[in-house]
Structure 1
Amino acid sequence: MKKVAVIGATGFVGTHVVKELSERGYEVEALARDTSKVQQHEHVTAKSIDVNNVEALAEALKGNDAVINTFNAGWTNPNLYDDFLNGSVNIEKAVEQAGIKRFITVGGAGSLYIDGKQLVEGPDFPQDIKPGAQAARDYLNKIKENTTLDWTFFSPAIEMHPGTAGVRTGKYRTALENPVFDENGRSVLSVEDVAVVLADELEQNNHIRERFTAAY
């Protein structure tokens, strides 16, 4: 596998995924609405896209061996739920239309389970990000119906935010439906190591047509 498209390439997660893949020697097609923020690298090519233009996005994706989707509709977006869910569905359609089989998409931790209950349904779940978490949870249910793509849905650790940036250890533990907790009862992973997890999954294909999570 040589060429990988990253959707949402200028976002918090996408920026680090582009960096990780390019440093591993992949040819990276960095797709974003505003390409002026795409980092300059000999292995990186920037393309401006609108995720809701399925035909144009499919055309832009052609020629890639895989797609990693880090699209986020913006946490302060008043229409966050609909924009995230619709954007995610349209991206999935475009990947299929482009004839690409391998698709890794990033959702939230809100769909993970503790004691049989999803985090997003808990009374302490932050209200400001709840619409986005609900959209990611509902998209997970949708993509589970896809039998065409070799898809993987990644739920980051509960603590994966700008405050967790700065450290790339290359080490992590994984699980499927429940958060990974450390000895202090925290589920945390730096965004740099999220990029490592996604690149490793691209290379190892350990979670075809399933969801997984990772943390220290």
Structure 2
Amino acid sequence: MKILVFGATGMIGQRIVTELTGRGHDVTGVSRRGPVKGDVHDAATLAEGYDAVVCAIAPPRDGTEPEPPFLAANRALIDGLRTAGVSRVLVVGGAGSLKAGPDVDLVDTPGFPEIYKKEAKAARAALGLYREVTDLDWTYVSPAAEIAPGERTGVYRIGRDDLLSDADGRSFITAEDYAVAIVDELEEHAHPRTRITVAY
């Protein structure tokens, strides 16, 4: 497939590009500092002719309120894909919107780190935006509560809206295996127009 990746120079975006390339896909990485410069606001022109798009952008971390610009960026992506005629999009999501208990999102639990709270709420708002989209073939992929560089094993579990934890109560996945899950979903097309989560 011919795939366009927004946010291709970030921790997760880099690994998605590596995974896609390793499987023989024709990949173009877009970032503000990469070989192909641009962002999701340019999707109408950049995405034309691609089979699918992966959006690996993160909410702003410049000290401003992240939700308004992050929602604007995702709206621009959605509108741009419509203009470009690309229906398939995989979205790198956040874990904060996952259910940590009955009717309680992880971001709203007492132990959620304050430093990540605004970013997590912005990602949750973006999920709500995608859930209103019926004319694009989107999949929103939330990672485990913890994600960090590590080993690529190719092994992970898939859930829907509930936080996944291991036998010790830890919710974790490496960025490498998260990238595997993104590309698996892109190839297998198993969860259209829904949110999934992946963890060990």
Band of TM-score, shorter chain: over 0.9
Q: Per the alignment, in what secondary structure is the counterpart of residue 28 of structure 1?
A: strand
Q: Per the alignment, in what secondary structure is the counterpart of residue 123 of structure 1?
A: coil
- 2:21 maps to 22
- 1:32 maps to 31
Q: Per the alignment, in what secondary structure is the counterpart of residue 157 of structure 1?
A: coil
2:78 equivalent among 76, 81, 92 = 92
- 2:189 maps to 205
| Letter paired with 1:106 | V
Q: What percentage of aligned pairs have identical amino acids?
A: 39
2:59 equivalent among 69, 73, 78 = 73
| Letter paired with 1:58 | A
Divergent runs of 4+, >4 A = none
Matches of 1:23 and 1:59, distance apart in 2: 26
Contact preservation (8 Å) 2:59, 2:123: no
Q: Per the alignment, in what secondary structure is the counterpart of residue 153 of structure 1?
A: strand
Structure 2: stretches of 5+ with no match in the other structure:
none
- 1:50 maps to 39
State the Cα distance separating 1:79 from its structure 2 match.
3.2
1:195 equivalent among 155, 179, 189 = 179
* Length-normalised TM-score, structure 1: 0.88
1:167 equivalent among 151, 157, 161 = 151
| Letter paired with 1:51 | V
Q: Per the alignment, in what secondary structure is the counterpart of residue 30 of structure 1?
A: strand
> Once the two structures are superposed, what CA deviation does each residue of 1:13-55 show, in whole Å capped at 9, x if it has no partner?
10000000001000101011111xxxxxxxxxx4211333xxx
| Letter paired with 1:72 | A
Matches of 1:31 and 1:19, distance apart in 2: 14
Q: Per the alignment, in what secondary structure is the counterpart of residue 214 of structure 1?
A: strand
